[in-house]
């Protein structure tokens, strides 16, 4: 192939990046969207990616998700060569998809198309997402979570655990074995990889003339482990007439949904205690006293947890993680925050931003506020600028003013997905 040479990586150990870094604004994440299908299996003259769903082309629905996902820096779109000019005008420009930085001609197979797209990804990219253009029901949350997993593990894929029993057969359809369902996943996209991981995988596949069924299979053969991230059964790939019927039904269901703005207020306070570490926002802060508590006594994260639970109408931190339960003794409050996030997102809530006010006389919090915000943003899968940390003294008044402890107020705002009728 013409274009820049895809470099080989030095080994999977050099490819792991802390998840919290990837959430930050310093991270560059580029999505490759292969959309080179011809629609033959649908029996239609128009390519499936251009079919209308709710009055917009299917491809537009897909691209809008990446347009609105903050951590995605840019999009490389791969389409049939003869469609490049019309897609630029009728898709990208018409629908204001400003993150599309390049439109690339596809290849003979999907793998060839993704490789062409990879050639167009800037070399300064940190993480590459690959997502099928005909999976229009992907969500920003899926994108955030798969990118965060790729940051930590080097490679990740959205998928769903298998619901049906899977049997392996001979070519004559005779069952040879029944596979253990608890270990089986149906793989979907988006899939996300460190840039050098994916480049190495494609270079080795080209060298060996290997064609895989997805991008993750190319990465697996290089020795890099791929992390599965739970997606949704609604995240279908539209390739058959039955898929199109399902997509129309899902789109009708989405029209019946409405998003409601929600907010929650959290408060917590802890007294200082000698002989303990002072941990605030998941950051250990040098000081001669820590905070008294059953867990790590991270008063900042406890207030954030309460704010999130309040936003979701789900009680408070004490109800879910009681201080009488030894399972939570000395536990990191980042683990508790992660569990709260899982709880509320499973019930249709998403987080927009967090605002925290810490009231304490000393030590000074300013040097640690950035790391605290990074920890919270990474755990909640939101951009770092969506987390604000402020510190105030209490002007010598009350238990805070006397230096006896720390109090924290936190506000969480987000959205609730609700059925409309």
Instruction: Pinpoint the residues of the chain covered by CATH 3.90.550.10.
Output: 12-255
What does the alpha-carbon distance between residue 406 and residue 400 come to, in Å, rounded to a whole number?
A: 6
Kindly report the pTM of this predicted structure: 0.62
Reply yes or no on whether the pLDDT at 96 is more than 70: yes
Q: How confident is the model at residue 255 (pLDDT cuts 50, 70, 90)?
A: confident
Residue identified by tokens 């936190």 is: 410
Domain at 258-419, CATH class: alpha beta
Length of the chain: 421
- 229-245 pLDDT, tens digit per residue, is 999 999 999 988 898 89
Residue 153 banded pLDDT, cuts 50, 70, 90: very high
Average pLDDT, the chain: 88
Which region among 22-26, 133-137, 200-204, 239-243 has the lowest average model confidence (pLDDT)? 22-26
Give start-end residues of each CATH 3.30.1330.50 domain in the chain: 258-419
Q: What is the CATH number of domain 12-255?
A: 3.90.550.10
Local confidence band at 128 (pLDDT 50, 70, 90 cut-offs): very high
What does the buried/exposed string (b/e) look like for 51-79 if buried means 16 or more CB atoms within 10 Å of the residue's CB? bebeeebbbbbbbbbbbebbbbbbbbbbb
What is the DSSP secondary structure assignment for residue 25, as one 8-state letter? Answer: T
Q: What is the per-residue DSSP string for 193-258? A: EEHHHHHHHHHHHHHHT---SSHHHHHHTTTPPPEEEE--TT-----SHHHHHHHHHHHHHHHTEE
26 pLDDT above the threshold of 80: no
């Amino acid at each position: 192939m013409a274009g820049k040479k895809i470099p080989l990586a030095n080994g999977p150990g050099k490819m792991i990046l802390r998840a919290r870094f990837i959430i930050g604004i310093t991270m560059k994440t580029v999505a490759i969207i292969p959309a080179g299908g011809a629609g033959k299996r649908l029996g239609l003259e128009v390519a499936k990616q251009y079919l209308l769903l709710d009055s917009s082309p299917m491809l537009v629905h897909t691209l809008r998700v990446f347009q609105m996902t903050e951590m995605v820096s840019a999009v490389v779109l791969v389409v049939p060569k003869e469609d490049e000019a019309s897609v630029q005008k009728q898709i990208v420009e018409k629908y204001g998809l400003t993150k599309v930085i390049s439109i690339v001609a596809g290849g003979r197979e999907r793998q060839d198309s993704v490789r062409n797209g990879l050639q167009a990804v800037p070399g300064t990219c940190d993480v590459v997402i690959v997502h099928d253009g005909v999976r229009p029901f992907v969500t920003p949350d899926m994108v955030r979570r798969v990118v965060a997993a790729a940051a930590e593990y080097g490679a990740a894929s959205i998928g769903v655990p298998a619901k049906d029993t899977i049997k392996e057969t001979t070519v004559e359809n005779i069952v040879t074995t029944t596979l253990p369902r608890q270990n089986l996943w149906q793989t979907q996209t988006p899939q996300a990889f460190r840039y050098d991981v994916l480049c190495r995988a494609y270079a080795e596949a080209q060298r060996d003339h290997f064609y895989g069924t997805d991008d993750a299979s190319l990465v697996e053969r290089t020795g890099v482990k791929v992390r599965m991230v739970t997606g949704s059964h609604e995240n279908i790939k539209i390739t058959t007439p039955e898929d199109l019927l399902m997509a129309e039904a899902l789109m009708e269901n989405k029209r019946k949904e409405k998003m409601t703005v929600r907010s929650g207020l959290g408060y917590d306070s802890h007294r200082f205690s000698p002989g303990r570490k002072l941990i605030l926002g998941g950051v250990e802060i040098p000081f001669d006293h820590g905070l008294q508590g059953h867990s790590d006594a991270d008063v900042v994260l406890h207030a954030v947890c309460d704010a999130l639970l309040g936003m979701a109408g789900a009680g408070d931190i004490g109800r879910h993680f009681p201080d009488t339960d030894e399972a939570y003794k000395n536990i990191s409050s980042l683990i508790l925050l992660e569990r709260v996030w899982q709880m509320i997102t499973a019930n249709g809530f998403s987080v927009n931003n967090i605002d925290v006010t810490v009231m304490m006389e000393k030590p000074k919090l300013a040097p640690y506020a950035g790391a605290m915000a990074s920890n919270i943003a990474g755990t909640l899968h939101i951009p770092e600028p969506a987390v604000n940390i402020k510190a105030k003294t209490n002007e010598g008044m009350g238990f805070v003013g006397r230096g006896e402890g720390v109090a924290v107020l936190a506000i969480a705002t987000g959205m609730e997905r609700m059925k409309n009728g």
